Amino acid sequence: MISVEEALERIQQHATPRASRLMQATESLGCVLAADIQSDVDSPPHDKALMDGYAVVATDIEPGVELSIREEVTAGDVPTKRVAPGTATRIMTGAPIPDGADAVVMVERTELIGGDESVVRINSDNVKSGQNIMPRGQSIRSGDVVLRTGRTIRPIEMGVLAECGATEISVYPRPSVAILSTGNELVAPDTRPKAGQIRNSNGPMLEALAQRAGGTAVNLGVGRDERDDLEQLVRSGLREDVLVLSGGVSAGVLDLVPEVLAANGVEQVFHKVHLKPGKPVWFGIKSDAKGDKLVFGLPGNPVSSLVCFELFVRPALGSLAGQDFSSIERRTAHLATRHSRYSDRPTYFPARLFECAGQLQVEPLAWKGSADLRTLADANCLALFPPSDSAFAEGDAIEVFLL
């Protein structure tokens, strides 16, 4: 049985970014750039007023000087007249500076005089060349690389792309993730279970986890423990980048899953990992020139499924999408209470993380075992208890994984 770290290494080897493709920038939030973005414009595109006021010749100004107003320029306008000594142009924030002017005096330091408002008195001294002007190209020059390959598109990057005219961009697409829950006992959530049946809760949970991890999820529903049915669903699933199965990987007689996968060209990379819950987790690949298809077989009970998804599937999805292969966010916290469930395997236990007197504390929940999804829903983290043959004491430092 391999360790969590070894399992992650083997997954990482096969989780390479998918082929990049062109995408509308407006659709790309959260995607990773697969090519540098160059600007096709200077920003600002002209020497630009940073204040409402008057564009003047700096050397022309002494306190009380009166200037004849040539014209008014607002953002979106183009100045038509040159500013010469003795004259000024009324200008609004963002508007282009007229030829001849080299400073803007803010409106609060000026006064209109004369009945027809054709003359302005400047009540400012010490006007410097360049004052209240942002020079053309100061932020971006045409041809500059403004965003590099590998950058994740956040809202700010959406703004930069728009500014630079990059409406269609090369990105690593979101990986597609097929979700297949297996088990004869499972019925759809909108069905009333009969004797011996339970509803498929893993499917909707895994679908949401895949979405949250940046994938596009395709929920294939329930596969029964019958070869033909499973085979057809597995083939559908293998059209996607990733196939996540739940159930059918432990030792039961009807656990056909590994067999059906093998028959469809999926090679096992590992089966069983030294952790609790989630020991029976299975990982395999179907070799593909465009990037291996990844297949995860998660244990059927929901808590094991969640733990294995967060530990193993999430970083793989990130990697396929061009991000770092990085695992779930973790913190160190102090045990708020004694914890006496210990194991020879590293154990991920549903818990609540909270702050108390400036210190992160973690309290394991009264969890009734791996089918107890309800208690898991009260958790905001998983506390990782290392293998131990004795209880953990209040105050012990424990690593936690945020949910």
Closest CA to 336 of 392, 258, 294, 386: 392
Q: Which is nearer to a copy of itself, 183 or 237 (CB)?
A: 183
Q: Which is nearer to a copy of itself, 4 or 140 (CB)?
A: 140
Q: Which is nearer to a copy of itself, 137 or 291 (CB)?
A: 137
* Residues 324/53, Cβ–Cβ less than 8 Å: no
Q: Which is nearer to a copy of itself, 94 or 291 (CB)?
A: 94
Structure letter (DSSP) for residue 273: B
Alpha carbon distance 154, 89 (integer Å): 39
Alpha carbon distance 79, 76 (integer Å): 10
Q: What share of the chain is helix, strand, coil (3-state, %, to 5)?
A: 20, 35, 45
Phi-psi region of 278 (alpha: psi -120 to 50; beta: other; left: phi over 0): left
Closest CA to 163 of 37, 30, 34, 20: 37
Tell the smallest beta-carbon distance from residue 98 to a copy of itself (Å).
Answer: 11
Tell the smallest beta-carbon distance from residue 146 to a copy of itself (Å).
Answer: 6
Tell the smallest beta-carbon distance from residue 49 to a copy of itself (Å).
Answer: 10
First to last CA, the chain: 26
Token couple for 292? 């291996």
Tell the smallest beta-carbon distance from residue 161 to a copy of itself (Å).
Answer: 7
Tell the smallest beta-carbon distance from residue 55 to a copy of itself (Å).
Answer: 14
Closest CA to 31 of 143, 146, 145, 161: 161
Asked, as a colleague might, if the bond just before 277 is cis with ω within 30 of 0, I would say yes
Q: Which is nearer to a copy of itself, 197 or 268 (CB)?
A: 197
Alpha carbon distance 208, 391 (integer Å): 35
SS3 172: strand
Closest CA to 311 of 332, 290, 341, 281: 281
Tell the smallest beta-carbon distance from residue 291 to a copy of itself (Å).
Answer: 26
Tell the smallest beta-carbon distance from residue 208 to a copy of itself (Å).
Answer: 4
Helix (H) or strand (E) holding 7: helix 4-14
| Pairing status of strand 359-364 against strand 330-335 | parallel
Tell the smallest beta-carbon distance from residue 64 to a copy of itself (Å).
Answer: 24
Q: Which is nearer to a copy of itself, 306 or 383 (CB)?
A: 306
Tell the smallest beta-carbon distance from residue 86 to a copy of itself (Å).
Answer: 24
* Beta bridge partner(s), residue 140: 43
Q: Which is nearer to a copy of itself, 140 or 295 (CB)?
A: 140
Question: Rg (Cα) of the chain, in Å, rounded?
Answer: 32
Q: Which is nearer to a copy of itself, 189 or 386 (CB)?
A: 189
Q: Which is nearer to a copy of itself, 71 or 286 (CB)?
A: 71
